[in-house]
Amino acid sequence: AQKVTQAQTEISVVEKEDVTLDCVYETRDTTYYLFWYKQPPSGELVFLIRRNSFDEQNEISGRYSWNFQKSTSSFNFTITASQVVDSAVYFCALEGAQKLVFGQGTRLTINP
């Protein structure tokens, strides 16, 4: 069975701090995709990144970076120099067998 665990239920930091959101997954598939989604207070779900299981290179997009480690089944998300607009619930997700399974989400609050 596929499972995604986001152990951090809530994180609160002060603006400009760096913050890392953890994601650990379980799957028996050899080919799978990992994702991060953002849900701001307005409620919509925003796609952030998709990573193929064969590509373990870290990825950076502006202040966002992702660290994929197959050896530890983790796909962590780091926000550098956080901003108030980063406040949201962030979901990690795993795709296999044509369906997407989400973690419980991490509520991130960035305080001014």
Partner 1 sequence: NAGVTQTPKFQVLKTGQSMTLQCAQDMNHNSMYWYRQDPGMGLRLIYYSASEGTTDKGEVPNGYNVSRLNKREFSLRLESAAPSQTSVYFCASSEALAGGANTGELFFGEGSRLTVL
Summarize as ranges the residues that interact with partner 1 (CB under 8 A).
Answer: 6, 9, 31, 33, 35, 37, 43-45, 47, 50, 91, 93, 95, 98-105
Beta strands, E only, 1-112: 3-5, 10-14, 19-21, 24-26, 33-39, 46-52, 59-61, 64-69, 74-79, 88-96, 99-102, 106-111
Closest approach of partner 1 to the CB of residue 15, in Å: 26
Our CB check for partner 1 shows the closer of 16 and 50 to be 50
Our CB check for partner 1 shows the closer of 6 and 76 to be 6
Closest approach of partner 1 to the CB of residue 56, in Å: 17
Closest approach of partner 1 to the CB of residue 75, in Å: 13
Residue whose structure tokens are 């795993």:
94
**Closest C-alpha to 9, from 82, 90, 85:** 90
The whole-angstrom distance between residue 47's C-alpha and the CA centroid of its chain comes to 10
Closest approach of partner 1 to the CB of residue 73, in Å: 17
Our CB check for partner 1 shows the closer of 31 and 111 to be 31
The neighbouring-strand residues paired with 92 are 36
Our CB check for partner 1 shows the closer of 31 and 83 to be 31
3-state secondary structure of 72: helix
